[in-house]
Amino acid sequence: MNLAEAIKLESCSIDFQAIDKKDALRKIAALFKRVHGFEDIEENSIFRGLKEREDLGSTGFAHGIAMPHCQLASLKKFYISIAICRKGVMFDSIDGKKTRIFVSIIGPQDCRNEHLQYLAACSHVLKQTGVIGDLLQANSRINLFEEFLKHTDNGYGKLSSKGLDKLLLLVVQDESILQDITEVFVEYGIQQSIILNGSQMENLISKVPLFMGFFNFTGDKNPSTKIVMAKIMKDHINAILRGLEDIFGDLDSFSGLKLLVLDIFFAKGF
């Protein structure tokens, strides 16, 4: 069992909102649906699994915490979502107060003992002094992710980035979208990046006499590009891709942005 592997950045949220318990369960299901591994599972199936468990008894506890969970036959491993609802939502908690922290667990149907271990591990983290305040103050998805794992014991798995760093390259062909990219970076906790100026090969070829006339940049098309570089963790690739595609749509169909992720062979001072 490893909490760091089970918690997926794309299923974390610091601005979770719901109008009631049923709506909260639907939106938790939507968070899980964002995760790689749920492609063949319908969002409504996740919702039904969570609701059926809630019908047996509320997973809303005291101190603004709830731990919705369920088992799905089609899953092969465990997934954990962490969501912060700052306004709170009524979730049938045992103290009758609003729930603001949702730590949700979904696992395979035939792994009962391991499911109980994940529940116990997450409960152990949430009971530690200062955890609730730290989670509620998280200002990005990755900050929320790290704050939770910071309080785990060795037996539950610690966060380690050694050997897992990747180089993210974004080729931005439309400078007007840089602000949107910056907002995604902030949301996912990327605080350091480098922007390089570049130009497309066609711009250089068009200046060669032999090829003149084949490439025309006199219109609205801008031949210049921006290359954004950032170091990220391997496990965060899918989350950042989802964040970008939430704004721009499928990048295979969007001409203004290209994404490439490379292995880092060696890095020092970065």
Nearest CA-CA partner of 50 in 33, 78, 35, 71: 71
Domain end marker among 108, 134, 156: 156
Average pLDDT, the chain: 84
Number of domains in the chain: 2
Q: Rounded to whole angstroms, how far apart are CA atoms 104 and 68? A: 5
173 and 132 assigned to the same domain? no
Domain end marker among 156, 187, 209: 156
Residue 120 lies in domain: 3-156
pLDDT in tens, 29-60: 999 999 988 888 999 999 999 999 999 999 99
pLDDT in tens, 54-109: 999 999 999 999 999 999 988 889 999 999 999 999 999 999 999 999 999 999 98
The residue with tokens 């380690």 is 160
Q: What are phi and psi of 86, to 5 degrees?
A: -65, -35
Are the beta carbons of 79 and 10 closer than 8 angstroms?
Answer: no
Are the beta carbons of 104 and 83 closer than 8 angstroms?
Answer: yes
Enclosing H/E stretch for 240:
helix 237-248
106 and 19 assigned to the same domain? yes
Q: Rounded to whole angstroms, how far apart are CA atoms 168 and 182? A: 14
Residue 221 token pair: 């098309």
The whole-number average pLDDT for the span 243-251 is 90
pLDDT bucket at 208, cuts 50 / 70 / 90: low
Q: DSSP letter at 104?
A: E
pTM over 0.75, yes/no = no
